[in-house]
Every structure is written in C-alpha cells, then in structure tokens.
Structure 1
Amino acid sequence: MTTTHAPPSQHTAPNKRTKISLEPYLYLLPHAVLFFVFTVYPIGYGLYISMHRWDMLNPNQVFVGLEFFRNLFTPGTPQFEFFWRTLLNTTFFTVVSVPLLVASALGLAVLLHRPIFGRSFFRAVFFMPGILTVSVMGILWRWMFDNQIGLVNAARDLLTGAAPIPWLSTEGLAWIPIVVGTIWWTLGFNMTLYLAALSNVSVSLYEAASLDGATPWQQFRFITWPMLTPITLFVVITTALASFQLFGQSLTITNGGPSRSTQSVIQYITEEGFTNSQISSAAAMGFVFGLMMLILTGAQFRMMARDVTSSEGK
C-alpha cells in the first residue's frame, strides 16, 4: 500500500518593510535646488515685497498687507489707470499679431514645402531675422518708419511725392512698425515648426485625393489643415504667450508712445519699479499679471488636450 505524503507546508515569509532608496532623489536634488533658488524663493520674496512699503534704503519695511493689490482694482488711482490701459494695449497687440503670425507662417510653410527652385535659400532668408536680438530689430524698424528720414517715407516720396507720415508719433499708426517688425522677426520659427509637421504628412494622401479629383484648395482643407491641427494649437499657445510678454519692441521702436498708446504692461511694470521707485507696487502688478498668464495658459492647454483627445478618438 503506497502512502501519499502531503508536501511540506510552505510558510510565507513575513513581509519585510520596503527599504526606501535615496538614489532617485539624489538625481533630482540639483534640479530641486535650482528650482527653489530661482523660482520658489523669488516668488515668495516678491510676495513679501508686495505686502510691504519697500524702501531699499530703510532696513525696516512697513507692512501694508494688500494695499498695493487694492490700488490695482480701485478706480481713480494711477496704478489702476495705467496698469489696465497698458494691459489693454498688450491684449490689442496679441489679438492683432497672433492670427497674422500663424497665417503667414502656415502660408510660407505650405509654399516652401513644395519642390521649388531655391527652396533652401528662401527658408534660410525667412528664418534668419529670428537670430537678431530685440534691440537690433527695434532700432532697424524704428529707422525704417522714422517720421522724417525713414525708408518707408522715403519710398513714398520717391513713388508718389506724398508728404511724410508721422508713423511713430500718431496713435494707431505707431502700432504698425511694432506689429510688422514682430512678424518679420519671429515668422521664421513658426514657419520651421509647420515645415517639420508638413514633412510628416503622407504623400499618398495627396495622391489619392488627386485621383479623386480634389482641387489644391480641397486638399489643403481636408488633408493638410486637419493634419496640422496639433502643431497649430502649439503655435497659437506659444505665440500668444510671447505676444503678451511684449516689451523690447515697443520700448525700442516707440518707447511706449505716443501718450502711452503702445506701452505694454511689462514696460509699465518696469517703469513703476525702477523709474518711479515703487518696488512694492510693481511686485503686486507682476503677481496679478502672472496670475492672468497662468489662467490663460491653463485654458489654452486644456483646449489643446481636449482637441488631441478628440482627434485620437476619431
């Protein structure tokens, strides 16, 4: 009779406490230190300054709470008048320049994506202004639109004999060199992004559309544009954020004039802090403007994520 022996019972070893490894945190430590020193500390210190009547010559700073923030929302104060006026100027510049920058970059990219003669040369020509500093760009366009000796007025005089137009000292017209100069300066970057996106569109889609009798406009509308939607959203977001940070162009071309009609909000914050020596007021303005940019960025990224998700669902 064969006796079957049961296998020896296997006792599960007690769970040992998981040992935490410090190695991953050591890799993160350099970035964490830099993030704290250059981001967290300046933000906290700026908030501290905005709540005190800051005087760099006085070691004892008077705590005033939210006084400088209230000034921004109290009609009749200079801070209320000039902050919201310059914010409106910046918004106007963004609303005008962003569609032009996106449309012109897309048009150039579609044109230079084709196998035309000198394609590489023209790509380089449109991209090269982007390597200039904002000061060089501003001086160049200020000279071109100078009221008396500018190249634009000289060309008008040569072609039509008309009197010079005071571009830089006329409200409304002063925006033209700023907007046109900004488009000329930053067009190449967006164009390069679109060129990279166009290279990923399969040629077979256009070949199939041609066989079905689709016109060039129909190919662009139903193939090119839908395929470029993700990069278009990225271009719109980055261009809008860059436009809201308008500073160097208006400073060097018009110096915010005439009558502050082209002064950007960052230019006014700089003036409040360093020209008027109102450091606390400038810090409060910076926080309010930064919060607005965070809200705008969050809304745009939410829109981009929703669009990408819907595209993947299709």
Structure 2
Amino acid sequence: MTDHAPQPARHAARRGDAPRAGAAARAEPYLYLLPHALLFFVFTVYPVGYGLYIGMHRWDLLSSVQSFVGLEFFRNLFVPGTPQFDFFWRTLLNTALFTVVSVPLLVAAALGLALLLQRPIFGRTFFRAVFFLPGVLTVSVMGILWRWMFDNQIGLVNAAREALTGASPIPWLSTEGLAWVPIVVGTVWWTVGFNMTLYLAALSNVPASLYEAAALDGATPGQQFRHITWPLLAPQTLFVFITTALASFQLFGQSLVITAGGPNRSTQSVIQYITEEGFTNNQISSAAAMGFVFGLMMLIFTAAQFGLMARDVKGAS
C-alpha cells in the first residue's frame, strides 16, 4: 500500500519556493546595475556632496575643527567688489570666449576634413592618421610645442613671417587678445582628429544611392550636402557639439602651459583660477564653492543645449 501522506508537504514546499524564485528574478537586474551604481556614488555623488560640505565650512587643513559658515563663500561669488566675484566671473568670461571661438572651428574643421577624406583619394589612410595622431599627445607636450611655435622672439611663426615679409616679430604671448591665437589654433590642431573620426564613421553609413538619385535629378554638390548629408549627420553633430563644448569649458592645460593665464589673466580659465584659489591661495572652501557653482552651470548649459539641438535633430528627421 502506497503512503500519500508526504504529498501535501511537498506541494507546500513548492508553493514556498515560488515567491523566493520570483523575488530573485526581480532582484537580478539590480545586481547587474549595482557595480555601476556603486562607482557612480563613490566617484560622483560622494565628491559632489563632500565638496558642498566643504564649501559651507571654513576649511583649514591644519585644524581638526572646521567652523560652519553657511553660504558665505557662495555669496562672495555674487557680491560685486569681492576678489572671488571679480576673478571668478572674469575667468568664466575668458572660458566662454574660448568656447565660442573654438567649438565652431572644431566642428566645421572636423566635418570638412571628414568630407575630404571620405573621397577615394590617394593616401587617404595616411592623411587620416596624420590628422588623428596629435590627439594622442599629452596637453603638456602640445602646450610646449605651440608655445615655442608662437614665441615672441624665436618662434617658428615669427621666423616664417619675417623671412617671407621682413616684418618685425609679433609679441603673441604677451599681447591681450593675440595670446588666444596659439591656444585656439593649438587646441584645434590637437583635438580635431577625434571629431573627424566620428564624422567619418557617420558618413560611411549614408547610402550612396541617395547621392546617385540626387545627381540624376541635377542636384549640385552643395545641394546634396544641404539636403542629404547635413540632415543625416544631425545626430552626430549634436553629439560632437555638446562634447566639444563641454571639453572647451574645461580649458586648463593649454592656457596654463602656453600663456600661464597671461597677460594680465586675459587667458586664465575658470578651472585654472579655481585651482589657484584652492592650492595657491589655500582657500579650500572658496574653491569648493566655485567648483560647485561652475558644475551647476555646466549641467544647466548641457541640458539647454541638448534640448534645443535635440529638437532641431527631431525636426530634421
């Protein structure tokens, strides 16, 4: 005779396992997200929060007691007449000027080079490498190179100009306004290869049949670019513009090495001034407040640019 007594227990065990299996399935995606979330908290959330905490205290590296001052250092950035107000907004304006000048050049030069090197010309691979290779240099090497190129007395630019025209040397590095020339030109030469590579990848995905049909309809190369190439490159242009603008706002090494922020702080970037305030003037709290405000500005700028350009991309598509 068969004993059926254990059957209800076995069914109860199965019913008890089902909720546990369902809970494990629901928790599984979060386990995959956990490493990224942990790194994001450690390297982003915690530093931002700790920087805000420092900015609200009078921080002294030699003291174990840090007095709470509230928004004093943040308020100094918006009160005219304080050194922090004068230098922070002046260097921020310098950085904005560099961004306004360099970003259109980097986007236009990258797109132009990509259009040229997309064609089946002799040595195409060689020229692609030539334009991309400067990007592997460190900012110190790049800065020393262009500082020497535009040196007031022995620079290659002045030497070539004197040899060709007989004109006297131009004091590039010690003249306000002109000091931006080696920084902007050097930055374009240094970083245009990356954007060019992005555009080359995007151009390779444009169907050739579109150009063939446009040519049969009598479209000129300019019309083909306007109505085919440019609209199809809109997503890549959005990405290139935003990443280039953010990188330009982080200007630091070029102005530090080429001009040391001079003359008269005319080429000093905002990050360079924040670094000076924190590590040269030993005003850690003031530098933390500046960094928090500048970071918040970058978030607002990025969101606004992304919203405006994403709308244009959607409209073009």
TM-score, normalised via structure 2 length: 0.91
CA distance in 1 between partners of 2:179 and 2:55 (Å) = 33
| Secondary structure of the structure 1 residue equivalent to 2:23 | coil
Task: Report the Cα distance in structure 2 between the residues aligned to 1:162 and 1:189, rounded to whole angstroms.
Answer: 36
Alignment of 1:291-306 (within 5 A): 291-306=296-311
SS at match of 1:263: coil
Whether 1:95 and 2:100 are equivalent positions in the alignment is yes
Q: Which residue of structure 2 aligns with residue 231 of structure 1?
A: 236
Report the counterpart of residue 122 of structure 1 in structure 2: 127
Cα RMSD after superposing both structures:
1.6
The aligned counterpart of 1:85 is: 90
Q: Deviations for 1:142-179, whole angstroms, at most 9, x for unmatched residues?
A: 00000111110111111112111110000000000000
Q: Is contact 2:56-2:73 (8 Å) kept?
A: yes
Deviation at 1:306, TM superposition (A): 2.4
| Equivalent in 239, 249, 262 of residue 257 of structure 1 | 262
Q: Aligned residue for 1:288?
A: 293
TM-score by length of 1: 0.92
The equivalent residue for 2:45 is 40
Percentage of pairs with the same residue = 82
Are residues 1:208 and 2:203 paired?
no
- Unaligned segments of structure 1, at least 5 residues: 1-13
Among 277, 282, 298, the residue aligned to 1:272? 277
Which of 189, 194, 200 is the aligned partner of 1:189? 194
Shift of 1:221: 1.3
- Tell me the alpha carbon deviations over residues 38-78 of structure 1, each in whole angstroms, 9 at most, x when there is no partner: 11211111111000110000101111000000000000000
Contact 2:149 2:157 in 1 (8 A): yes
* d(CA) in 1 for partners of 2:223, 2:253: 41
Q: 1:233 to 1:28 in 2, by over 3 A?
A: closer
Match of 1:67 in 2: 72
The structure with the greater share of residues assigned to helix is 2
Measured in 1, the distance between the counterparts of 2:161 and 2:314 equals: 51
C-alpha distance in structure 2 between counterparts of 1:277 and 1:185, whole Å = 33
Shift in Å, 1:31: 2.2
**Whole-Å separation in 1 of the counterparts to 2:151 and 2:260:** 13
The answer to whether the Cα contact below 8 Å between 2:238 and 2:310 also exists between their aligned partners in 1 is no
Residue 208 of structure 1: how far off its partner (Å) = 1.0
> Contact between 2:231 and 2:316, CA under 8 Å: does it hold in 1?
no
Per-residue Cα deviation, 1:2-36 (whole angstroms, up to 9, x for no partner):
xxxxxxxxxxxx9x868422433333332222222
Structure 2: distance between partners of 1:43 and 1:211: 58
Given the superposition, is the C-alpha separation of residues 24 and 204 from structure 1 closer, same or farther in structure 2, using an over 3 Å criterion? closer
Unaligned runs of 5+ in 2: 1-14
Partner of 1:20: helix, strand, or coil? Answer: helix
Q: Distance in 2 between matches of 1:221 and 1:30?
A: 45
3-state SS in 2 of match to 1:301: helix
Provide the residue aligned with 1:3 in structure 2: none
TM-fit CA distance, 1:311: 4.1
Q: Report the residue type matching 2:94 in the other structure.
A: N
Distance in 1 separating the partners of 2:172 and 2:286: 33
Per-residue deviation at 1:272?
0.2
Query: Which residue in the other structure is 1:149 paired with?
Result: 154
Contact 2:98-2:184 within 8 A present in 1 as well: yes
